[in-house]
A and B are shown apart, each in its own frame.
Chain A
Amino acid sequence: MITTTKGEMDESLLHKSEGSTENDREIISWVEYRLDDELVHRSVHVVLKQSVAADGVAAAIG
């Protein structure tokens, strides 16, 4: 069963499509289910590869 905008629906009644993209910072994968041409479910999974860093600097004296 798939959670949709119309409630729980049997997956066999829906058209499923999937995709993914990847770059240096993330991998994004998504899955969509459509009833006829209507989008009734879309889930997204983002995998972060790395994130923010701050530099700690000790200044020279003199």
Chain B
Amino acid sequence: MANAQAMCTSFKGDLLTGVHNFGTGVVRASTAADTFKAALYLASATIDASTTAYTATGEVSGTNYSAGGVTVTFGTAPSTSGTTAFVTPSASITYSAVTLSTAFDCVLIYNSSQSNKAVSVHTFGSQTVTAGTFTLTMPVNDASTGLIRLA
């Protein structure tokens, strides 16, 4: 046996459940999971790694689309495999009976329980929807493809 420099895998998993706090954190009312939402953005918007929170600027608008988007279901708790921690929504993200006439290509996952702070940005081929359903089906929830991974 020998010692090995590493980021502890358990720590990565703990980050996904809010265990550690190296700075000024937030007071949590309970140990319950936060509520996360998914908002769609126009292809002309500028949502990227520098995005710190949900913004209505550049968000899609149209029939039956509510500003802020829809709630994301994380029915499976974060887990680890190998040296990677990961978590993936347990259900597809669906916008039903919407008309979104201006091309969009991005979804922002954000924490509506914590001041709408940004989590991740996911892009896809530019789309429009007309009186239809837009569905985002999640990748396999594992260390290689999970939606949010700390490797």
Contact = CB atoms under 8 A, between A and B. Distances in A.
B137 A45 contact: yes
> Interface SS of chain B: helix, strand, loop or mixed?
strand
A51 B150 contact: no
B134 A44 contact: yes
A20 to B, nearest CB: 11
A53 B149 contact: yes
B124 A48 contact: yes
A55 B49 CA distance: 14
A5 B136 contact: no
A13 B125 CA distance: 30
Contacts of A46: 124-125, 127, 134-137
Interface in A13-62: 21, 23, 25-26, 28, 30-32, 39-58, 60
Contacts of A45: 133-135, 137
Q: What are the 9 A-B residue pairs with the smallest beta carbon separation, nearest first?
A: A43-B132, A56-B7, A53-B149, A42-B130, A50-B145, A47-B137, A51-B147, A58-B7, A45-B135
27 contacts: A3-B97, A3-B132, A5-B130, A26-B124, A39-B130, A41-B131, A42-B130, A42-B131, A43-B132, A43-B133, A44-B132, A44-B135, A46-B127, A46-B134, A48-B138, A48-B147, A50-B145, A51-B122, A51-B139, A51-B148, A52-B147, A54-B150, A55-B150, A56-B12, A56-B150, A57-B7, A58-B5
Interface of B: 5-7, 11-12, 84, 97, 99, 120-122, 124-125, 127-139, 144-151
